[in-house]
């Protein structure tokens, strides 16, 4: 994917079980469509716990980073973390994530377009819905917080997963889809979004 045109960038997005249960499939897809992105793969499935763990640990640093972030979120709200070992924290986060992600169907998708990784993260909003801006998908449709998730011993319900970087996207797309499931095709609107000349509009 490197060295290709920015319009060819791809990202992985999953509508999590709460997004399906909230009947937000159409709403979420329409937000990506209306900005000009192209859907190049999709399927509905109930992932296994092993598959979910493999997804979150594609980045070998994820356990440490997530544990440290979690501990910091306790400290930031003036609470004492239950342990100072980031790996121990992440084991608990991961167990909750597996329960959450295997609780029902999810919709896996690959979206393509200019700067898509950054653009989709912007449209989705920050990971913790409490912090997501109004106008983002999470800011508009969900009200969860780490504090509430930690209090109730569950993962935060934030409707969607979206890759955090082009490298992460490449790994996640490979994890969820085979090469054959990714469809290369042209959308008519790409002529207006990307073509250098707008010849042929006037009759």
Whether 175 sits among the annotated catalytic residues: the reply is no
User: How many angstroms separate the CA atoms of 184 and 8, rounded?
Assistant: 10
In the complex with ligand GDP, which residue's Cβ is closer, 32 or 146?
A: 146
150 near ligand GDP, rule: CB under 6 A? yes
User: How many angstroms separate the CA atoms of 9 and 116, rounded?
Assistant: 6
Strands 160-162 and 38-45: unpaired
* Site residues (CB under 6 A) for ligand GDP, limited to 113-132: 127
Catalytic residue, from 5, 55, 161, 175: name it. 161
166 near Mg ion, rule: CB under 5 A? no
Q: Which of the ranges 74-82, 94-102, 108-116, 156-164 carries the binding residues for Mg ion, by CB under 5 A? A: 156-164
Selected from 73, 102, 103, 136, the binder of ligand GDP by CB under 6 A is 73
User: How many angstroms separate the CA atoms of 178 and 169, rounded?
Assistant: 14
Shortest CB 157 distance to ligand GDP, Å: 9
11 binds, among Mg ion, ligand GDP, none (CB under 5 to 8 A by kind): none
- Helices 62-76 and 86-101: crossing angle, nearest 10°? 100
Q: Which helix (H) or strand (E) holds 105?
A: none
146 near ligand GDP, rule: CB under 6 A? yes
Distances 94 to 18, 72, 153, 161, 166 between C-alpha atoms, Å: 17, 17, 11, 14, 23
Active site residues: 161
């Amino acid at each position: 994917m490197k060295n290709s045109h920015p319009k060819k960038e791809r990202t992985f997005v999953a509508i999590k079980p709460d997004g399906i249960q909230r009947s937000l499939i159409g709403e979420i897809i329409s937000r990506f469509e209306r900005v000009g992105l192209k859907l190049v793969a999709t399927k509905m499935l109930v992932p296994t716990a092993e598959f979910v763990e493999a997804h979150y640990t594609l980045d070998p640093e994820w356990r440490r980073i997530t544990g440290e972030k979690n501990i910091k979120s306790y400290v930031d709200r003036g609470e004492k973390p239950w342990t100072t070992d980031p790996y121990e924290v992440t084991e608990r986060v991961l167990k909750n994530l597996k329960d959450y992600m295997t609780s029902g169907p999810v919709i896996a998708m690959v979206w393509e377009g200019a700067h898509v990784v950054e653009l989709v993260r912007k449209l989705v909003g920050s990971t913790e819905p409490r912090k997501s801006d109004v106008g983002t998908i999470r800011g508009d449709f969900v009200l969860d917080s780490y504090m509430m998730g930690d209090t109730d011993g569950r993962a935060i319900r934030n409707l969607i997963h979206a890759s955090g970087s082009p490298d992460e996207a490449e790994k996640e797309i490979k994890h969820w889809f085979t090469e054959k499931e990714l469809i290369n095709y042209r959308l008519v609107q790409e002529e207006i979004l990307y073509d250098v000349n707008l010849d042929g509009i006037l009759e």
